[in-house]
Every structure is written in C-alpha cells, then in structure tokens.
Amino acid sequence: LKDFKIRYTHSVLGYAWSVLNPLIFSVIYYLVFSVFIRFQVANYPGYLLIGIVLWNFFSEGSANGVGSLMARAGILSKVAMPRQIVVYAAILNALMTFAINLLVLAVLLRLVGIPLHASMAVFPLLLLDLVALTLGVSLLLSPLHVRYHDIGYLWGLCVQIGFWLTPVIYVESMIPDRWRWLIVTYNPMARIVQYSRQSLIVGTWPDWSGVAKTSIAVGAVLLFGSLAFRRLQVRLVEFF
C-alpha cells in the first residue's frame, strides 16, 4: 500500500493516472483501428478496453515482480525474511491499480450498452488465472534477475512482443491459420483475454475444456516458478 501511495505522491492528477493510462491507450487504438483503418468489430470499445486492462496488469505486475528482489536488495541483504513476500507485495501493488481499472471497466461496459450475462460468473476464475500466471512468471524470473540483470530488459522486450502477438487490439480471426495454434492455443494470455471477452461482451459461456486447459497451464507455470524460486533464493545474498 505504501508503494502504491508513493507512486502518485508528487503527481498532479494522483491516482487518476491509474485509470487514465488504459483509457488513453484505448482511445488511441480505437481511433487508429476503428476510425482510420475502419476495423469493424461489434462493441469494439468494450472489446478493446477488456484486452488492454488485462494486459496492462500482466505487464505491470510481472515487471514489478521480476524487479522486486533487486529493488529491495538493501533490505533483503540485512534482514532475515521470506524473500517471496517481496514478490507477493510487488504483485499486490499492481493489483491495487488493477482493481480500480476493473471498476472503471464495469462502468464503461454498462455505458456502451453491454447487458449483464450469466456467463460473467466465469470472469473471476479467469482473473485468478491471470494473477497466478503473473505471480508464476515473477517467481521464476525475479531470482534470475538478481544474478543476471539482463533478465529485466529481456522480459520487458518479451512483454512488448507478446502484446502484438496476443489478440489484445485485434481479433483472433486475423491471425493466419498456420500461426494460430502457436499464438493462441499455447498462449495463456490469449486464452484469458479471449474467454473474458466472450463471457463479458458476447454473453456466452466459454469452452470449459479450454478454460480447464488454461488453468492447468497457468497452474504449471505457478508451480514451476515456486519451485524454481525456492531453489534459486538460497544464493541470492551472494549477488545483492
């Protein structure tokens, strides 16, 4: 909570930036793809905002998590404490911004005429998958980042590339069939975004086998990240 407050302390608009960031980018992408390129998608403003809000959390949360141990190196080298708590705190910081964005998203979806659907009940499960995926990646890479500082830059590059490879601002049907299996089928973020849109905007239940496979894949990432963190954290002090 302290980090969240400090982040906006000297800002004129303060906490409003946590909402303005996804809104501004949503407007820009809407103008580019819907007005100038004339990209036709039903309920595109809501479609776009869902993708950007979900991706922004993954981007911010994983960036915070991956860099969390280095950011707290001074404390961790002097105080005996469970190091994974630092990673959890970094994700929690991103979750606060995410919670605000979700509230704004709910209001805007109603304003653009999206009715309430029973299928929206699956959305919390998808959010849980999103948080677990972000935490798993952070636990895996944060200790590696302490030893190899290039990890932070490489992950930032991967996130930027992933944004364009994942159907965040465009529809899945635009991806050539020969690449769709790689970009969508084996991309947990693509599935989370796709199923979220389906449950919130389209109003139909997503494919449960697909949801289950996504949850299993995310669980595997979280488990692997947790085990890797437990093994790698032993020698962290040597590199602080």
Q: Which of 73-87, 141-155, 188-202 has the lowest mean pLDDT?
A: 73-87
Mean local confidence (pLDDT), 227-234: 89
Q: Rg of the chain's alpha carbons, rounded to an integer?
A: 19
Q: Which of 227, 208, 63 is nearest to 122 (CA)?
A: 208
pLDDT at res. 14: 55
Distances (CA, A) of 130 to 10, 47, 52: 30, 17, 13
- Burial of 61-96, coded b for 16+ CB within 10 Å and e otherwise, reads bbbbbbbbbbebbeebeeeeeebbebbebbbebbbb
The answer, yes or no, to whether residue 10 has pLDDT greater than 80, is: no
Mean local confidence (pLDDT), 10-31: 67
Mean local confidence (pLDDT), 189-200: 96
Calculate the dihedral angle through the C-alpha atoms of 220, 174, 165, 168, rounding to the nearest 10 degrees: -80
Residues 6+ apart with CB under 8 A from 95: 57, 61, 131
pLDDT at res. 39: 65
Confidence of residue 17 (pLDDT cuts 50, 70, 90): low
Say how many C-beta atoms besides its own lie within 10 A of residue 19's C-beta.
16
Task: List the end-to-end C-alpha distance of the chain, in Å, as a whole number.
Answer: 25
pLDDT at res. 158: 96
The answer, yes or no, to whether residue 240 has pLDDT greater than 90, is: no
Taking only the tens place, the pLDDT of each residue in 82-106 is 788 999 999 999 998 899 889 988 9
